[in-house]
């Protein structure tokens, strides 16, 4: 169903400026940095060494059932450091499409640096999954909503985070 006036509103926002779009992009950059910080914290646990985990009979092994060593269950111990070094953040510039303003803040892993990232997130036949991206996103949501409200006030009418799945 077509809505009258959408083009006029979009043109007014574009004319108002690049200033508004630039502000949205700056806000998305803040969100990406904040989420990056939470993910980094959640994948760099050091409370157990590899020797400790071996002594605990590898608590993330599926043979133990759905028992997790830590809660929340998406925390990951640093081992080689590849997972942490593969972490990236980026934003996609705000664009107007079909009467909507879309912008993205993205945090993920470069699987060419840490090919095992998918195994940690989804699990394997012998290892329990620890989806630190989705878990960190859910953990960060209240703060993210605050950042959006503070920076964009009434401009945000529909905020839908997209997870790993």
| Those residues with Cβ within 8 angstroms of residue 3's Cβ, 6 or more apart along the chain or in another chain | 99
Whole-number Å distance between alpha carbons of 80 and 90: 24
1 assigned to some structural domain: no
Whether 162 maps to a domain, the answer reads no
Domain contains 117: yes
- Tell me the pLDDT of the chain (165 aa) as tens digits: 345 666 666 666 666 555 777 888 899 999 999 999 999 999 988 767 778 777 877 777 777 777 777 678 888 877 778 899 999 999 999 887 777 778 899 999 999 999 999 999 998 988 888 899 999 999 999 999 999 888 887 565 555 666 654
Domain of residue 53 covers 6-155
Query: Does 27 map to a domain?
Result: yes
Q: Is residue 18 part of a domain?
A: yes
Beta-bridge partner residues of 91 = 105
Within the chain, residue ranges assigned H as helices are 6-16, 18-42, 50-55, 82-85, 117-122, 132-152
Q: What is the pTM of this model?
A: 0.74
Number of separate domains in the chain:
1
DSSP per residue, 66-83: S--SSSSTT--B-SSSHH
């Amino acid at each position: 169903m077509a809505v009258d006036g959408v083009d006029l509103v979009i043109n007014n926002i574009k004319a108002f400026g690049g200033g508004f779009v630039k502000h949205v992009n700056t806000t998305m950059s803040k969100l990406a940095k904040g989420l990056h910080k939470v993910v980094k914290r959640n994948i760099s646990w050091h409370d157990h060494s590899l020797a400790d985990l071996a002594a605990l009979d590898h608590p993330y092994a599926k043979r133990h059932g759905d028992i997790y060593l830590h809660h929340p269950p998406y925390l990951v111990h640093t081992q080689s450091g590849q997972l942490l070094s593969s972490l990236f953040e980026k934003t996609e510039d705000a664009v107007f499409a079909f009467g909507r303003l879309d912008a993205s803040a993205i945090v993920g892993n470069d699987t060419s640096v840490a090919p095992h990232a998918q195994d940690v997130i989804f699990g394997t036949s012998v290892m329990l999954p620890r989806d630190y991206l989705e878990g960190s996103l859910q953990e960060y949501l209240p703060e993210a909503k605050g950042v959006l409200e503070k920076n964009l006030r009434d401009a945000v009418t529909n905020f839908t985070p997209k997870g790993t799945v």
